[in-house]
Structure 1
Amino acid sequence: MKSYRILSLFFYFLIIGLINSPVIGQQSSPDSIIYNRQLVLEPKNNDDLIKGYTFFRNHKEQSFRLKDTISTLYYLQMIAIAESELGAFHEAEETIAEALNLIDYNSSPSSFIEDKIRLNTELGIVYRALHDYDKALEVYEKTLSISHPSMDRISIINNMANVYRDQGKFNQAEEEYQKVYKERLLRNDLRRTARALNNLGSVQGKLNNPEGIKNMLEALEIRIAVEDVSGTFSSYNHLTDYYKDKNEIVKAKHYAVLGYEYANNYSPKYKLQALTNLLELSNDKLVVQYGKLNDSINTAKLLRDNKFAIAKYNVEKEQRKTLESELQREKQKRITLFYQSIGGFILVASGFLYFLLRSRFKKQKLKEIYETETRISKKVHDEVANDVYQVMTKIQGASTNSETLLDDLESIYVKTRDISKENSAVDVIHNFETTLNDLLLTYQNSNVSIVTRNSSKISWKQVSEAKKTTIYRVLQELMTNMRKHSDATLVLVSFQQENNKISITYSDNGKGCDLKKNNGLQNAENRIHTVKGTLIFESEKGNGFKVKMTL
């Protein structure tokens, strides 16, 4: 790669003057952004670059004031590209450092990964222009490591190949350029295809491969046809180098002159390079020596200035990391204290809640015991005590015979047994199906037939103890209600299971009721609700009684 000579001071005042000129419109529309982007990326001449630079510089200031990070980063990227193309590498690096700082200061820098890749790519171009090849390769390798496979990684590979070529590593450069050229052919992009072909040809020429000159000339034709300004000058430059290496001075001067005439209409940066080519082809040794010395001085100055810019960025970055680390530690302390306070509060609240719930549970259990005792007492009084009193009355009378007395005593025994069964523990662990069938059959006699269906098809082992207890008690309530009130002669109890739901349908042919729930039916409904089940009653006087429970 040829040396870059820069008139930084000249460009500085030139650009500042254009920034303050009223030529650029203030309206930022998508069309104007696209138009000026084209001026920067595909300039026809130096004026295009300056116009694009000025446009994006103005809009960058506006977007920064509005805290529009996305737009600000985009404008900074365009500014850096324009500065680099204008030869203002020091300014380009400062612009890139500003953009990288903006990303690092953002609350979510990972969301700007593509912007960081583009900025680092441009930074590598700056380092290459300054002959800091190791730094350029370091930046490109870092960029590849953070880039996603779906991104245009081929551009980064092309830039790395450029550095290899500048270092004289032509075999390595050719290998990378071959990858780039094949990829560009697939995308049918003439400008980039011509660039890849020219780059490939230039290293092939260094390796004395006859395909080199063919590829460079073909690339030149494409670039002239598509009016690629920077590309056309690059082709002239590489052809000058090729023939100079072959010691074909006449042809080398021919392309050097073409390059100078072409650059004279476009960019001072290209013009300086073209003049350098002509000077190096001069027979005057003093002129050649002057050119080399001037090139070394300018390069050293730019290298020093740009190292300072990026070093300043790195120092600021380290200072920011230190500050962020201290803030993070302080934040962590506050978070720890906050969670400790919350934990203490939860512990105290949990203790209070535990004792409160325990107290309520005890009261509830006492209430349930009292209600159960009251219910049993009332039932014993209503059903057993009255019968005992009647028997006592009969015994006192003279007309009572022993057979009638025995029947009355048996009736009292049956009622006492039923009350005992209603309140005794239910074995829901061992063979629940048999336990349930035994319950139903105790209500069968010469006047009432009990029929069950599909109870054996229920997976009782998978049913919880709470649900089995509820099923037992609810059916017990229904059967007791049937015996007392319905005068039924036939009772049907059918079972059905779907997935984890059990449906049980009870029906009888008794006289029915008006669905004003008595105490027994209310108890049944309460039991079903405790296991989050449903109970549906269907009954009309004279048309039997039907209940469907699901749980």
Structure 2
Amino acid sequence: MQNTTDNIYILVFLAMGGTFLLVASFIFFSIRNQNRLLKQRQQFQQAQIAHQKELLKAVIESQEAERKRIGQDLHDDVGTTASGLRLLIEMFKPTGGEDKNHQDFKQSSKTIIDKIVKDVRNISHNLSPTTLRYYGLIAAVTEHCTIINQSGKLEISLTNNAERELDQLHLNTATALYRVLEELLNNTIKHSGASKANIGLVTDTQNLHITYADNGKGLPTDTETVKKGMGMQNIESRLLNINATYSLEPYSGKGFRIKIECPLN
């Protein structure tokens, strides 16, 4: 009788042990399978992000190439034609001799043509700034700020504490940062009602830090609403393409402020 009872206990113990091992094995394989699925999902998402970044890079490079082509066409064709027209007006002399009306007409025509040439040159520069390609980011930004300062639309101060590091930036990175600052300045002039803007550049061992601020009306406190705007979407796309990040300080009525962090390598 005792042996029978012992055998029953042994069988129960073995059954419980087997059940435990079965449940433990099921849990183990379920967790491993979930981890494998999670890893596959993460790899798929990373591949999607990488693909999207490649597409974004291709779109931006295509836009810059088209900007360069249009800018050169404007400068070479329209600018040259306008200059030629000015020369013809200067050389033209009526058969009856020049009178005051003719002189006034000639002077007015030359003034208008000079303005057209200047506007074409500025548009060409904005589309494809040669200063950026040949002299780097800070020279191009300085030139752009000088043009705006001279126009009287906005007073811009530029503080650069990263001269050497900026000289080493890849052209694609420099172009993206230039376009971002250009977009920020355009937004300030068109929408903020600001009279002053400040741009600061500084580096640490790994990153370039850019701070942009104006004294305008500021942004809504809802940053998600701000990010849905076309201007901020363009900025975000260009920064994403160079692995840069940004943060906003949307204090309504206290001006606008954005901080950008871009890897130097």
What TM-score, normalized to structure 1?
A: 0.26
Higher strand share: 2
What TM-score, normalized to structure 2?
A: 0.50
Larger radius of gyration: 1
Flag the structure with more relative contact order, 1 or 2, with Cα contacts below 8 A and sequence separation at least 6.
Answer: 2
Higher helix share: 1
